[in-house]
A = this chain, B = another copy of it.
């Protein structure tokens, strides 16, 4: 594989830059004019031809300007993009917003999605932190009416699961409370497996409750990702590449199919560390529907313990520098918030 020369790298950067601004193919003349280059348009044309042969650029049609290919963007992002921190002012604004919000996880996640969407002018997605190891933390049983019981189950990590169920008999609140107390005493930090092994001496009601607890823990275990927060879907519609509704539809449909989303967010992430920002350009993300799009994703939370995913979806022509910095910054912010409020 041939290497790009220094000059070609510069040109690639400029082409990417110009294209992200104008959304139109970039011509050799334009490039000279726009950036006052010390070389002639003819030279640029030669270089462009070379880069096209190497696969970094492509022409939408003969005698149009050049547009970066997937490979071109990939090279740009991996090798040419120096990632500036977000401007201090921006960072402060964002941080400020987080401290102004209700100090609650769901508010933070909603806000994170909103911040991502606004600062990157793209669709954003944030999943609630979720722990792979599901363990019992605390149980509460509340009698509602007749034989109906509301169970509130807190898992290690802070996930809260609730379930309403009926018993065969009416059980007074006192009995429920003492049952809860007993289970709380014995099951502290137990995983599902440990719970199975535990030899508890329970009566009928106790066993039903234990069954419900296990169900809920199983459910939580099976869950790949936590609750999903999205924002800025309309930003995508505003992009010129999606002026055709067909395109927009195929891109946004990803957001409406939960299992695809699960796949996308989990599979593409095998072995990624918290704090790494992953950029999926066009077809890299095996999803045909996203051929035109790029994804910028990052994990946040506490490695191997309690993690969520966040990121943005936009057209391949995306201000990667800005977008990546924003994703990284918000991911770190959420990681800090999760760490501060961790429930162990």
Contact = CB atoms under 8 A, between A and B. Distances in A.
Contact of A148 (B165, B242, B341): B341
B150 A343 contact: yes
Interface residues of A, number: 42
Contact of A256 (B145, B234, B341): B234
B237 A104 contact: no
B150 A152 contact: no
A248 B239 CA distance: 13
Interface in A32-52: none
A82 interface: no
Given A103-B163, A140-B140, A163-B103, A256 B231 contact: yes
B237 A144 contact: no
B233 A343 contact: no
A174 B146 CA distance: 29
A245 B251 CA distance: 14
A154 B150 contact: yes
Given A243-B245, A249-B234, A341-B164, A102 B219 contact: yes
Contacts of A317: none
A344 interface: yes
B145 A342 contact: yes
Contact of A237 (B164, B238, B245): B245
Judged by DSSP, the binding face of A is mixed
Interface in A130-152: 137-138, 140, 142, 144-145, 148, 150, 152
A36 to B, nearest CB: 36
A342 B144 contact: yes
Nearest to A162: B160
Contacts of A103: 163-165
Interface in A156-192: 158, 160, 162-165, 177, 181
Given A233-B256, A237-B248, A104 B145 contact: no
Interface in A267-312: none
Given A163-B103, A163-B104, A243-B245, A142 B138 contact: yes
Interface in A74-106: 102-104
A142 B164 contact: no
A219 B103 CA distance: 12
B152 A344 contact: no
Interface in A199-216: none
Contacts of A154: 142, 150, 152
A72 interface: no
Contact of A242 (B138, B160, B164, B245): B245
Nearest to A138: B142
Interface of A: 102-104, 137-138, 140, 142, 144-145, 148, 150, 152, 154, 158, 160, 162-165, 177, 181, 219, 231-234, 237-238, 242-245, 248-249, 252-253, 255-256, 341-344
18 contacts: A103-B163, A103-B165, A104-B163, A137-B142, A138-B140, A140-B140, A142-B343, A148-B341, A177-B181, A232-B256, A233-B233, A233-B252, A233-B256, A234-B252, A234-B256, A237-B245, A237-B248, A237-B249
